[in-house]
Structure 1
Amino acid sequence: MKRFVLKDYEVLNITNGDLNRDAYPDAVMVLYKKGEEKTSNVIDHPEKRPLLILLGKADKTYKLAYRNDNAVYCVDCGGQMGDPFMEIVIKNGYFSVEHYGGSAQRWTRIITFKFNAANKKWLLHKDGHEYFDATAPDKPVSKVQTGKNFGNVPFEKFNIYREQ
């Protein structure tokens, strides 16, 4: 999988699973730019973290299916909580990008994409936010948007930095 790592980048996370419901194991790889903690500025210049969808092949190699540089928050996008990236979860043709951040006002954001077998693409399935005060964590406010709210958004067109 090293061949998919871009110049001046490192692997932040690799998660394996069945992304396209076939017989071969697939992977989602998240990359980060070397030294991003010094060069990223959440307001003016967030260092992008490419997310790669890698599909498994019969010869046990992978091919790059899609790349999106706007599906994972930057290193300093989490506020005082630090790097907001938590993990990638893959299950039955779905994958989710999970984030957590804030300070006294905490938040989570879980963005889920679903494989569409008809057009062999991943579409935005759900975009969920939860907000809560650290002094009252048992009183969260949730907001979940689905295709009814945003229509058909292909994975490669999704932009986490766009205002909700």
Structure 2
Amino acid sequence: MVDVDSFVPAGMKALETLRGDLTGAGHSDVLLISSPPSKAGEKLGQGEPRVVSVLVQDQNGGLKEAARNSKIVPCARCGGVAGDPYGYARIDKGTFLISVSGGSRERWAEDYSFRYDPAQQSWLLDRVVREVTDTETEQNKKTELTSKEFGTIKFSDFDPASLPQTGTL
């Protein structure tokens, strides 16, 4: 079996490696999140984003990279005073979810769900949940978007900045 570390981009380290059935075909695929090293002098909000790679099992049982995105998981210092914005990832049969959050007084959270589409042989953005909460007033605003609002977006093309923002309270 191929070593997952061989798919980590040069100069980065694996932040998370999840195994599961990403295509619904019953294989042991991998969702790999890689992180660049912090650089001296980086301030809050500065740094390179993480790289999310979708690795699927081929006919011989090896892994191959099927898709990649470097816009979904922000840099380690991009969560504000709340810390590292990467929350977690989860794989269910043919789908995966990535959750990020951060902020200060106003805490934000974003969950991105992707579904495998066999016809396109790609993962499509299925659902986005964005939430912002004021920690002093406890005001909360939650927005849920589906493909009805954003259309067809492939995982590799998805940029969270292209979606409507939840906004401030």
TM-score w.r.t. length of structure 2? 0.86
Task: State how many pairs are aligned.
Answer: 161
Letter in 2 for 1:26: D
Instruction: Pick closer, same or farther for the CA change 1:40–1:157 going to 2, 3 Å.
Output: farther
Cα deviation for residue 41 of structure 1 reads: 6.4
Matches of 2:40 and 2:88, distance apart in 1? 19
Residue 125 of structure 2 corresponds to 124
Q: Deviations over 1:70-103 (max 9, x none)?
A: 1211212211101110111111211111012111
1:78 aligns with 2:79: yes
List alignment gaps of at least 5 residues for structure 1.
none
List alignment gaps of at least 5 residues for structure 2.
165-169
Cα deviation for residue 125 of structure 1 reads: 0.6
CA RMSD between the two structures: 1.9
2:25 to 3, 22, 31: 22
Residue 52 of structure 1 corresponds to 53
Matches of 1:51 and 1:150, distance apart in 2? 21
Residue 92 of structure 1 corresponds to 93
Q: Deviations over 1:121-152 (max 9, x none)?
A: 10111111111122355x53210111111100
SS at structure 1 position matched to 2:81: helix
Residue 144 of structure 1 corresponds to 144
Matches of 2:28 and 2:6, distance apart in 1? 17
Instruction: Pick closer, same or farther for the CA change 1:135–1:150 going to 2, 3 Å.
Output: same
Matches of 1:116 and 1:128, distance apart in 2? 21
Residue 102 of structure 1 corresponds to 103
Q: Deviations over 1:40-78 (max 9, x none)?
A: 763xx6402111000023443211101111121121221
TM-score w.r.t. length of structure 1? 0.89
Moved over 4 A (4+): 36-41
SS at structure 1 position matched to 2:114: strand
